[in-house]
Amino acid sequence: MRSTFRLLLAVASLGGALSQAACERSAPPATSASNVGPPETHAGSGGAAEAQPSPVAAASGSAAPTPLPHPAEVSRADVERLQALGYVDLADAPLDGRSGVVEHDAARSAPGYNVFTNAHLCSTQLIDADGAVLRTWSLEPCFRWDNTTLLPDGDLLVVGRAEKPDKADGEGERGWAVGRYVARLSWNGDVRWKVPLGAHHDAQLTPRGEIAVLTASRRLVPELDERRKLKDDALTLLAAETGETRASASLYDLLKTAPPDQFQFQRRTQGRGHLDLLHANSVSWMQDPQLAARDPLYATSNVVVTIRHQDTVAIVDWDAQRVVWAWGQGELSGPHDAVVLPNGHVLVFDNGLGRGWSRVVEMDPRTRRIVWEYRAPDPKAFYTQTRGANQRLANGNTLIAQSDAGRAFEVTPDGTIVWEFLNPNSSEGKRGGMVRMRRIAPEVVQGWLARAGTTAATAAAPAASAQGAH
């Protein structure tokens, strides 16, 4: 299918009508705050500049939100059915003639460059604020890239699959793990190392200089099921310079140590093949010594893991090998991409499986209350069943990836859209989805370009001739 993709490299901002979204609060559940506080900023991945708190308070929106089911009210059977469906590589809706950057309010949008991954195209692109492509990475042979991360030196960390398994949940040489790998590519795309590993979803550089990656294996756990094997996710550490495995810990075993008043296993009653009880999808290591000095919850030995099929964000103390905090059950449904902000709050993408609308939530882990959230004025207009991502930017705005729709957009604290991007990569008349998007500070990317002996203008110039190519 990749050969049918059209790589349309946008060079300038494209015009188009845009419906403005608002940041609305639903009637708060028992665990939610009754008022909406100001979001705090977050230093973006890939070396974005350190952020300062925004003085702008979030507004409740101009229209009263439509009453919709709380996550605790949705059908568990419906949620499990949606969890079992595969990932979306193309948007449902046909192309509407718009692509690239379709909205850009330069005065209110946070400056920077954006990096996003086309899963089925096995490529990652770095674009400027107007959509011009500065750099594209790819690696063949390839079936799918689960995710990529730009490292502080401009190298690209890839969690990928070189080939399609004969059976997605099968075992053996041609089973689920066939062709899976983690690779480190240089700024110019050279392979520094590539190691075969049953990796999936995410890999990040830790403050200790190692790479934390999600991996999986199959094991029989009689207490769960006497016949079906558990797909046991693990948190694995790799050497950053070679990819050699240093250590690994089962997330199932770690979750058994979680405080019982904060987490209980949600048993799965449906499905065939292996038991996909966890489905972890993101890992984010604590990196702020100032937060660590304030509260041991933020110790630099702690790592945040998002676990989709348990509707849970968990904080794991890696050194103690135990879960010290967990939240989300009864509030989130199929979440992704939890990160800790400089103020200690957690920002997480709540997909909304079973309720049909997504939101981005900021919550205080100490009070366990939601302090801010974004959802569209028509909530069902913003929904992604799979993937999804969020990033708090240096000016207090939030960058959001609506992955299944191939859309990313930036909202102010009051929910106004000030930047929007529609993936120009398409196939069969439909827009390509994206894994996630991250914004990187201008000075960081300019430093990478300078080391490569080029500038943003020079790097983007070849895209002009590529636009419209098939």
* Residue 349 belongs to domain with CATH number: 2.120.10.30
Q: Return the half-sphere exposure (C-beta side, CA atoms, 13 A cut-off) of residue 449.
A: 20
- Residues 298 and 291: beta-carbon distance below 8 Å: yes
Q: What angle do CA 232, 238, 242 make, to 5 degrees?
A: 140
Q: What is the pTM of this model?
A: 0.82
Which pLDDT belongs to residue 18?
A: 30
pLDDT at residue 339 greater than cutoff 60: yes
pLDDT single digits (tens) 11-44: 333 333 333 333 333 333 333 333 334 444 333 3
Which pLDDT belongs to residue 271?
A: 61
pLDDT at residue 342 greater than cutoff 80: yes
Q: Tokens 């708190």 label which residue? A: 53
Per-residue pLDDT, averaged over 287-308, amounts to: 96
* Number of separate domains in the chain: 1
Please give the Cα distance from 56 to 364 (Å, whole number).
18
Please give the Cα distance from 266 to 38 (Å, whole number).
33
- Residue from 340, 338, 332 nearest 358 by CA: 332
- Residues 8 and 425: beta-carbon distance below 8 Å: yes
Residue 442 belongs to domain spanning: 2-466
pLDDT single digits (tens) 395-429: 999 999 999 999 999 999 999 999 999 999 876 77
pLDDT single digits (tens) 228-256: 899 999 999 999 999 999 999 999 999 99
